[in-house]
Amino acid sequence: MDPLPWYRMAATPLVIAALIAYAIWKPTTRARATILGAGMLAGYGILQDQISSRLCPEYFTVLHNPIPGLTDPTLIGIVWGFLAAAGGGVAMGYAAGLAATLGKNPPLATRDLVRPMLLLMAAVAVVTAITGVSAHRHAEMFNVRLDPRLDALIPVERHRAAFTVACYHFAAYASAILGSVVMCVWIGVRRSVSGSVCSSTLRQSDESKIVMHGHEK
């Protein structure tokens, strides 16, 4: 594959930097939630890719557009984890920010989104781990091997590792997307419940005032 174009490497950090600047300038819940989501998913991606880059560095250097000069597994994990996950984190965070503020129900603060995002990261990690273990065992069971044309680029002894890494990366992407939808629904339900409680409290307060006013008469 051709090397990763410079503009693709620069786009993600530039967008994140611009979003951080905007969140500092206008510290709204949506802006802060966007940064929170980007940070959490990028952090998760970096940790996951520390494992992936050690199991099969060729997953990044052969099966993806390589980044010139990037060969150290730790740096591969950091760079690719950030590039691959930060954009999805922006979408996740902004969606959570919308779910937390749109509508008439009481809005949630950014700090209220920390726990559901952490739970989502934990769920993604569990799904990814289960998929990785399952893919590895089945790769051994069925003697999985990549296209022979890749033998010169990926050592044969790492073919199954490449298959395993590809499988659990797909599971991570899919579970993060599905989990983000579930998280946003949960946020909406929580706000709806809070709105109902607030309305009930206000009604009871109004009724108490009416009763007290009647007694005074």
Return the pLDDT at 30.
Answer: 96
- For residue 61 the two structure tokens come to 């250097």
Q: How many CB atoms lie within 10 A of CB 186?
A: 15
Domain residue ranges in the chain: 6-216
For the chain, how are helix, strand and coil distributed in percent, rounded to 5? 80, 0, 20
Q: Identify how many contiguous H helices and E strands the chain contains and give both numbers.
A: 6, 0
Q: Please give the mean pLDDT across all residues of the chain.
A: 92
pTM, full prediction: 0.89
How far apart are the C-alpha atoms of 190 and 137, rounded to whole Å?
40
Q: How far apart are CA 165 and CA 59, in angstroms?
A: 7
72 pLDDT band, cuts 50/70/90, is very high
**What local confidence, expressed as pLDDT, does residue 183 receive?**
98
pLDDT in tens, 32-63: 999 999 999 999 999 999 999 999 999 999 99
pLDDT in tens, 169-210: 999 999 999 999 999 999 999 999 887 755 555 455 554 555
- Compute the distance between CA of residue 142 and CA of residue 102 in angstroms, rounded to an integer: 50
